[in-house]
Structure 1
C-alpha cells in the first residue's frame, strides 16, 4: 500500500479578484457559493454555484462579481503535509478543513469522483462500505457517522473521512433535509457505478432514501505529484 493525504480546503475569493493560481494536483473543486472561471492547460470552464470541476492541471481561479466560496479536495503523495493554501492573493483565503491519511494499492488503477448525496429528514444510510476512501463535508442539515466503535455528528461545513472498507451507519437529523458533498478515490472499474455495498443482509430490501448526483469522475495516476 502507498501512503497519501486526501485533504479538503475551503477557499474564499473576493468579487472580481485577479486570478488565483494553484499548482498541479489531483483535485476536485466544488462551488459552494458564487461562481468561478477555472483556466487549465487545455482550456477553461465557468462553474456556477453547486457545480464541480475535476482535473490535475495547474489552474487559475477567477471569481465572478459576487466572489466565490470553494471546497477544494486534493490527493497528495506521501504522509507529510505539504503547502496547499492560496498564496500571493490578498483578497483570498484558505482554511484547511481536513487532511486525512489514506492508503491506496499501487497495483490498482484509480479514479477520483465528486458527487452530492441528499437525504430527506430522518433518512438513514444503512450499514455499508465503499470501494475506496473519501472525505465528505456537510452542506446542509446534520449527519451522524457511526464507525469503528465511535459516533460523530457533522453539521454544515464539517468534514470527515470514511475509509471505505470500515462499515458505516449514517442516520440524519429529522429536523430538515441533509446534503453532503463527497470526493473519494475508487477503482476505475467503478466508473459510472455505485460504490456502496450493504453489510447486513436484512438491509438489502430496506428503503434507501438517499439521492445521488455525480458531478464528475476522472482517472488519476498515483505517480508522484
Structure 2
C-alpha cells in the first residue's frame, strides 16, 4: 500500500484506491476534507497495488497484511481537539496516516515520534500506539486509509489495549468517509 500526492504520474496495477481532498474547515465536529475513490488535483492518494510503488509522487510504501476472508478499504479522518489523547490502542487493519493539521506525538512499541502537518506514517494491523495532540489551539487532524477485514465494515476498528482506559476521556472524533469493499478477480 502506498500514500501518494498529485505528482504521481500513473499506476497501471492499482487494485484499490482512495483519495482525500481538503475542503472547508468547519470545526472538529465536521470532516476537513472529502473522500473519493478517484483522485484530483491536490489530493492525497492511498493505493493498494500488485507491486511496490516508487518514484515521483510516492510519499511512502509498505506491505499490508491482507485479511484472509475478504477486505475493504476504509478512508476516514480523526480530529483531536486541544488536549485529546488516543489512549494505547490497536486497529484490525494496516494502513497509512497523513497529518493534515496541527501536531501529534505518536508512541509506538519501539519509538516515539513528533508529527507535524504534512507528515505521514504507516501503522501495521494490531500494533499498539498512543497519540497525543500537541497543538495549543485549533484542531489536530489526520487522514487515515486502512485495509480492514470485511467483519469490520461499518464499525470501529479501535481496540483499547488496557480495558480501564475506557473510563478515561475520549475527545477525538472520527469522521468516516467510506468503507469500500474490494472484490479481487480470481482469474
Pairwise TM-score range, normalised by the shorter structure: 0.7 to 0.9
- In the alignment, structure 1 residue 52 sits paired with structure 2 residue 55: no
Q: Provide the residue aligned with 2:77 in structure 1.
A: 116
| Structure 1: runs of 5+ lacking an equivalent | 1-5, 14-19, 35-48, 86-93
How many aligned positions are there? Answer: 177
Deviations 1:64-117 (A, max 9, x none): xxxx31101001235xx346x7xxxxxxxx522111122224x32100010110
Contact 1:12 / 1:70 at 8 angstroms: preserved in 2? no
- In the alignment, structure 1 residue 126 sits paired with structure 2 residue 99: no
User: TM-score, normalising length from structure 2?
Assistant: 0.84
Q: Provide the residue aligned with 1:140 in structure 2.
A: 101
Question: What does residue range 3-18 of structure 1 map to in structure 2 within 5 Å?
Answer: 6-11=1-6
User: TM-score, normalising length from structure 1?
Assistant: 0.71
Shift of 1:152: 1.0
Contact 1:142 / 1:156 at 8 angstroms: preserved in 2? yes
Could you tell me which of 204, 219, 222 is aligned with 2:166?
204
What is the RMSD of the two structures over their aligned residues, measured on CA atoms? 2.5
- In the alignment, structure 1 residue 70 sits paired with structure 2 residue 31: no
Contact 1:30 / 1:50 at 8 angstroms: preserved in 2? yes
Shift of 1:163: 0.9
Distance 1:183 1:199 in 2: 21
Question: What does residue range 151-170 of structure 1 map to in structure 2 within 5 Å?
Answer: 151-170=112-131
Question: What does residue range 75-94 of structure 1 map to in structure 2 within 5 Å?
Answer: 75-78=48-51, 81-82=52-53
Larger Cα-atom Rg = 1
Q: Provide the residue aligned with 2:18 in structure 1.
A: 28
Shift of 1:22: 5.5
| Structure 2: runs of 5+ lacking an equivalent | 25-31
Deviations 1:159-190 (A, max 9, x none): 00111211101111141320000100111111
Q: Provide the residue aligned with 1:180 in structure 2.
A: 142
